[in-house]
């Protein structure tokens, strides 16, 4: 006999509280394991396809690890040095960009030279606020970088965790499936498959979209002659998974840098803007429908709320688990709504007491009368 509903709610509530407490106290320690688990989850379909092609699980995992190692080495040798150099140059040129911006604003708005003008005071207040927030952000990043975990340990632990989780993924899923309560196992399997479909559609799809779109932006902006095109493309691609934020930040940064670099050359500025317009068209009409799909079930507003809430409470670790938790809550919410709509609380007793309406009688078939000459 199944447990009463109140007992089930109590146990599931205790499990949720324990999960949140572990995340709160051990979030920094769990970070490499969460990243490794995410990598293993992302690569599990590739390992399954290699197994169907005839390889064993160990061979498939080894092949994937070697290909990933080769890709990382190529990135380190070919892309990352250029990315670091462009990022350093962008940081060093920030004061010059600020001076040129100040000269441009003073030329267009002479009132800025007056210390008592409202525009000057407003800009000064904004600059002070940005400076204060920037100092807080820098201190927070420094503290997090020093207190979370060593970068070397992180780089070593994540691949090892991803390798072993990918190697034993099917066995772990089978072990968890065997521990499900027998009374609710079919329902839990159905909900788990729906959650997996949502995560597969969003996480794997969005990572693919981010990689493809970031590559497109970087290559196109570099060919357009933008000095920091690789950095801008990498930033725009990395935050594409946040609805609307990636395109707005990347487009604003690219067009702003183009205005300083190509001031007066409106063709080059228009090319940079056209690159982001083309990227948004490709993302919205080709990449996202093909790779993510329309049946994911994660509304952009709900996703933004989950990222903001978990990120503010649990930090970077919270942002990592925000999407899986949001997907799970969405699936459970839809399941609860379907259960409610099939219950007497929603339907009431009126529908059960009213007799079903009798079907309408079939229409009368008209008989064709023979012509008078055929009567004989």
Q: What's the CA gap between 322 and 319, in Å, rounded?
A: 5
User: Quick one: which of 263, 251, 262, 270 has its CA closest to 104?
Assistant: 263
The answer to whether 268 and 225 have CB atoms below 8 angstroms apart is: yes
pLDDT at 23: 75
pLDDT tens, residue by residue, 111-130:
656 666 666 666 666 666 65
pLDDT at 115: 62
Q: What's the CA gap between 325 and 310, in Å, rounded?
A: 10
Cα Rg of the chain (Å, integer):
30
Q: What's the CA gap between 202 and 187, in Å, rounded?
A: 23
Distances (CA, A) of 126 to 59, 110, 122, 133, 254: 57, 19, 6, 10, 22
pLDDT at 357: 55
Token pair 């503010």 is found at: 312
pLDDT at 303: 74
Q: What's the CA gap between 44 and 49, in Å, rounded?
A: 9
pLDDT at 350: 60
pLDDT at 227: 77
As given in the structure block, the two tokens for residue 219 are 């290559």
Counting as low any pLDDT under 50, the low residues of the chain are 138, 141-142, 144-149, 375-376
| DSSP H or E stretch at residue 227 | none
pLDDT at 359: 58
The answer to whether 216 and 224 have CB atoms below 8 angstroms apart is: no
DSSP assignment letter at 294? S
pLDDT at 260: 74
User: Quick one: which of 171, 166, 169, 173 has its CA closest to 62?
Assistant: 166
pLDDT at 97: 63
pLDDT at 10: 79
The answer to whether 97 and 260 have CB atoms below 8 angstroms apart is: yes
């Amino acid at each position: 006999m199944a447990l009463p509903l109140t007992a089930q709610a109590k146990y599931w509530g205790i499990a949720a509280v324990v999960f949140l407490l572990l995340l709160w106290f051990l979030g920094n320690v769990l970070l490499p394991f969460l990243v490794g688990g995410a990598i293993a989850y992302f690569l599990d379909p590739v390992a399954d396809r290699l197994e169907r092609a005839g390889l064993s699980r160990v061979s498939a995992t080894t092949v994937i690890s070697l290909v990933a190692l080769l890709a990382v080495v190529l990135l380190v040798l070919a892309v990352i040095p250029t990315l670091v150099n462009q990022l350093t140059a962008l940081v060093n040129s920030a004061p010059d960009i600020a001076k040129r911006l100040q000269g441009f604003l003073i030329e267009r708005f002479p009132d800025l030279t007056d210390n008592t003008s409202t525009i000057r005071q407003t800009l000064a207040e904004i600059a002070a606020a940005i400076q204060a927030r920037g100092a807080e952000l820098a201190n927070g990043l420094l503290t997090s970088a020093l207190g979370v975990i060593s970068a070397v340990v992180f780089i070593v632990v994540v691949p090892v965790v991803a390798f072993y989780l990918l190697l034993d993924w099917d066995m772990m899923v089978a072990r968890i499936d065997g521990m499900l309560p027998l009374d609710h196992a079919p329902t839990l399997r159905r909900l788990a498959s729906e959650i997996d479909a949502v995560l597969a559609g969003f996480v794997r799809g969005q990572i693919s979209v981010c990689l493809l779109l970031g590559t497109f932006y970087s290559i196109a902006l570099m060919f357009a002659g933008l000095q920091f095109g690789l950095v801008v493309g990498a930033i725009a691609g990395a935050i594409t998974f946040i609805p609307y934020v990636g395109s707005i930040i990347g487009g604003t940064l690219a067009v702003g840098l183009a205005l300083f670099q190509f001031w007066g050359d409106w063709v080059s500025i228009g090319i940079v803007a056209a690159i982001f317009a083309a990227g948004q068209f490709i993302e919205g009409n080709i990449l996202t429908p093909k790779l993510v799909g329309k049946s994911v079930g994660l509304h952009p507003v709900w996703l933004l709320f989950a990222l903001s809430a978990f990120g503010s409470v649990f930090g970077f670790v919270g942002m990592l688990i925000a999407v899986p938790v949001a997907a799970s809550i969405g699936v459970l919410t839809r399941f609860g709504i379907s259960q409610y709509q099939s219950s007497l609380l929603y339907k009431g007793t009126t529908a059960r007491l009213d007799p079903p309406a009798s079907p309408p009688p079939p229409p009368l078939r008209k008989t064709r009368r023979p012509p008078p000459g055929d009567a004989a």
